[in-house]
A = this chain, B = another copy of it.
Amino acid sequence: MIKCTKCQQIEFVQKSGIVRGKQRYFCKSCNYHFTLPEPHNPPDNKRHHQVTIMDIAGQLGISKSTVSRALRGHTDIHAGTRKIILDLAQQLEYQPNPLANALLKSRTNIIGILVPEFRHYFFPTIIMGAQEILSKAGYNVMICQSDESYETEVANVKALMSSRVDGLLVSVTAQTNNFDHFRTVLRKEVPLVFFNRVCPELDTPQVIVDDYNGAFQAVEHLIEQGYRRIAHLAGPVSLLVSRLRMQGYLDALQKHGFPVENELIIHYDLSEEKARIYANYLLSLSQPPDAIFAINDPTAIEIMLVAKSRGIKIPQELGIVGFSNDPISAIIEPSLTTVEQPVWEMGRQAARLLLEQMESPHNVTHTLDTKLIIRNSSVNLRS
């Protein structure tokens, strides 16, 4: 004896075929087709079945739609019903399955972050800044590091895209000359923000610091300290950041009427090994430099170590300035003069910019200020 779920009558109900293995009924009184609500039995084979809205609906004898609505906080739901649902959900430790949602909405709430390395202070700190903002906004973060390898970068972008990240925060490798993998990202309309090592030819939003002025001030400082033969151990030409710092270096020389000597300018791939090789090379020149401006602090520190091992006195015989204000630069002896950049803030800005992008795409470049921090590695005692 089946009771119509609509009019609650029994006598007019007849079977009306089987759909999806479920017996369907038809009430001739109210012309209503229906199936009997089945209690949802959590499968016994899955040992730790995650609680689903169906479990809640089953126990309460209501439909999963209602549960969903209650959980989502929809307004058009009976207050009592909502309370019962919410209570049971709490009691059952219900946790919504983000995968189902992700599939439905094509949104994963995951942001991919891709950096060349995180051995040094710089990128980990940026990541922490970004994470601060992103997790507040409800996003998780998937971090990849390309290890300064173009191939790894391409593979990582692919992996992140295949994980369907909702956005991408990227700093490219020193090798990266081809940007097709990022074009693919843009083509699929995944928001993309570059920071530090950006990609100017791609017309995407980016966060950088005022590299040019930072470099300019650093080199001018060396000149003011009386150094006369200032070399620059630069990053690869492919990176805008290298080119900007280089330009700052060149313009500072020019402003003070110093000649540009090509043998004093070296572009390198930012590897520790090469830093050492080129530092040695510079210091072995027949007319070696009396100061070196390094593209960043790790480079500057390698130079210091090489100089020390050759018995060259810093800052008396060799002035050194780095870039970024890595904590080591305050610890090493002599302490390293460097250009401070707001690293943590850069991560935050990049994250904020990405969130904005996801709201409404628009192209901006945020440029943060830098500040010269004068320490002992560049204070020429002769002057």
A-side residues, CB < 8 A to B, are 16-17, 19, 26, 30-33, 47-48, 50, 95-100, 102-103, 106, 108, 110, 118-119, 121, 124-125, 127-128, 131, 135, 140-145, 159-164, 187-189, 301, 305, 328, 331-333
When distances are taken between beta carbons in the complex, the residues of chain B under 8 Å from A95 are: 161-162
Shortest distance in angstroms between A235's beta carbon and chain B's nearest beta carbon?
A: 21
Q: Are B108 and A118 in contact (CB under 8 A)?
A: no
Q: Are A189 and B48 in contact (CB under 8 A)?
A: yes
Across the A-B interface, the 9 shortest Cβ-Cβ residue pairs? A17-B31, A99-B103, A118-B124, A333-B333, A99-B102, A143-B143, A16-B31, A48-B189, A103-B103
When distances are taken between beta carbons in the complex, the residues of chain B under 8 Å from A99 are: 99, 102-103, 106, 108, 164
When distances are taken between beta carbons in the complex, the residues of chain B under 8 Å from A103 are: 97, 99-100, 103
Chain A contact residues: over half helix, strand or loop, or mixed?
mixed
When distances are taken between beta carbons in the complex, the residues of chain B under 8 Å from A142 are: 110, 140-143
When distances are taken between beta carbons in the complex, the residues of chain B under 8 Å from A333 are: 332-333
Residue of B nearest to A190 (CB): B48
Q: Are B118 and A118 in contact (CB under 8 A)?
A: yes
Number of copies: 2
Contact of A328 among B131, B189, B331 (CB under 8 A): B331
Residue of B nearest to A188 (CB): B48
Residue of B nearest to A156 (CB): B135
Residue of B nearest to A147 (CB): B128
Contact of A124 among B50, B97, B124 (CB under 8 A): B124
Q: Are A189 and B47 in contact (CB under 8 A)?
A: yes
When distances are taken between beta carbons in the complex, the residues of chain B under 8 Å from A328 are: 328, 331
Complexed CA–CA distance, A118 and B145 (Å): 14
Shortest distance in angstroms between A138's beta carbon and chain B's nearest beta carbon?
A: 9
Cβ contacts A to B, 14 pairs, < 8 Å: A17-B32, A26-B31, A33-B33, A47-B189, A50-B188, A95-B161, A96-B162, A99-B106, A102-B102, A118-B118, A118-B124, A119-B125, A301-B331, A333-B333
Residue of B nearest to A15 (CB): B31
Complexed CA–CA distance, A145 and B124 (Å): 11
Residue of B nearest to A124 (CB): B118
Known contacts A50-B188, A110-B163, A142-B143; 11 additional CB pairs below 8 A are: A17-B31, A19-B32, A33-B33, A95-B162, A98-B162, A119-B128, A131-B144, A140-B159, A141-B142, A332-B332, A332-B333
Name the residue in A19, A163, A188, A189 with the highest tally of chain B Cβ atoms < 10 Å from its Cβ. A163
Residue of B nearest to A143 (CB): B143
Q: Decide: A97 near B164, CB < 8 A? Known: A140-B142, A143-B141, A331-B328.
A: yes
When distances are taken between beta carbons in the complex, the residues of chain B under 8 Å from A141 are: 142-144
Q: Are B118 and A140 in contact (CB under 8 A)?
A: no
Shortest distance in angstroms between A269's beta carbon and chain B's nearest beta carbon?
A: 19
